[in-house]
Copies of this chain bind each other. A is one copy, B any other.
């Protein structure tokens, strides 16, 4: 019975929706192409699943009737298989995307910050060097974002992906400033006594942006 499927909103991992989202743009694509696209744009604000997982999700989506596939040429095994989203898939995806409760707060896994947090185990110079490398890496990432933006700008149907990439560009610029401020803090820490936390007298605290929290 398909009635049981419709009764409740399909609970799928975000990855499945992300893959379905890739399919929601005009055109049919192979799993391989999806992976490349995810690598070059989705990963900047979400994440790029392993290729084997993409294939697995595509199979699941097809089972659910959210996607359909067609082999090119005869019915051979391992022939190129192009996927397309179905109407049911588009509807389900739209329903998921509109569910705001589903989207929790953004998740950040920042390896550099984890290491700064463990700064008491490292030499100060090593720590600063790591931030420097992070700055360099971030500049390269920013360049990659901008390259993706060029591609997205070509097609009017990609207005929203272009918006997301614009956000990513700004996000990387912010990341650069964050890293520079971190570097300054790090230098302030080791200049003054090793145990003097930079809290008093440093400007930039008391910044705007906070809600009018009374008190």
The interface of chain A, by Cβ under 8 A from chain B, is: 14, 17-18, 21, 24-25, 42, 44-47, 90, 93-94, 97-98, 100, 102-122, 126, 129-130, 133, 137-139, 141-143, 153, 156-164, 166-168, 170-171, 173-178, 181-182, 185-186, 189, 194-199, 204, 207-211, 213
Q: How many Å lie between the Cα of A162 and that of B113 in the bound state?
A: 11
Known: A114-B21, A197-B153. A106 touches B104 (CB 8 A): no
Find out whether the CB atom of A122 lies under 8 angstroms from the CB atom of B107: no
Known: A174-B174, A209-B177. A160 touches B117 (CB 8 A): yes
Chain B residues contacting A167 (CB-CB under 8 Å) are 113, 116, 178, 181-182, 185
Find out whether the CB atom of A130 lies under 8 angstroms from the CB atom of B114: no
Chain B residues contacting A153 (CB-CB under 8 Å) are 197, 199
Find out whether the CB atom of A109 lies under 8 angstroms from the CB atom of B107: yes
Chain B residues contacting A102 (CB-CB under 8 Å) are 111
With both beta carbons as reference points, the residue of chain B lying nearest to A44 in the complex is identified as: B108
Known: A90-B121, A197-B153. A47 touches B160 (CB 8 A): no
What is the CB-to-nearest-CB distance from A164 to chain B, in angstroms, rounded to a whole number? Answer: 4
Copies in the complex: 2
Find out whether the CB atom of A117 lies under 8 angstroms from the CB atom of B170: no
Which 8 interchain pairs have the tightest Cβ spacing? A103-B111, A119-B160, A45-B113, A174-B174, A117-B164, A156-B195, A106-B110, A94-B121
What is the CB-to-nearest-CB distance from A117 to chain B, in angstroms, rounded to a whole number? Answer: 4
New contact pairs (20) apart from A97-B122, A167-B182, CB-CB < 8 Å: A44-B108, A45-B108, A46-B113, A47-B107, A97-B114, A105-B137, A105-B138, A107-B107, A113-B167, A116-B164, A116-B167, A117-B163, A139-B209, A142-B210, A153-B197, A159-B197, A162-B199, A166-B198, A167-B185, A173-B207
